[in-house]
Amino acid sequence: MVVINLVVDPEHIDDYGHLNNSWYPKYFEQGRLALEKAFGIDPASYMVKGLKFVVTNATYHYRGQLSAGKNIAIVSKFKPYCGKTLVHSEHEMFCEGRRVGVAVLAHNFLQNDRIIAPLEELLDQLPKE
């Protein structure tokens, strides 16, 4: 699990005075990148081997509004591996103790643009069901 702390940028606020929903995925992306780094997923080293670790599906749930200057925490974790080619991650956004957003992402490894099973070194680190 990885936690990052961010502040809602005033430039990301819409005419209604809250964080525009197009910015939520970009904030969650920062959590995803921190999670990958914590698990040693390095795009540059994978690309040398002809591999890519890509997001193939993303679902976002908005649970609350955020205004400029609010402190938020993104809590990111990999979900238990289910024995298929997909690896799932979950990212929760909290503000003042309330969960204000959730993202669930599906990831695949690609080799020469074809889906392959996750790499053993990653599977060894993932939570088990």
Query: If we measure between CA atoms, which residue out of 45, 116, 54, 124 comes closest to residue 89?
Result: 54
Prediction pTM value: 0.89
- Per-residue model confidence as pLDDT tens digits over 40-56: 888 888 888 888 889 99
Domain boundaries, the chain: 2-123
Low-confidence ranges of the chain (pLDDT < 50): none
pLDDT at 60: 96
Q: Hey, what CATH class is 2-123 in?
A: alpha beta
Q: What are phi and psi of 46, to 5 degrees?
A: -70, -40
Contact 52, 110 (CB under 8 A): yes
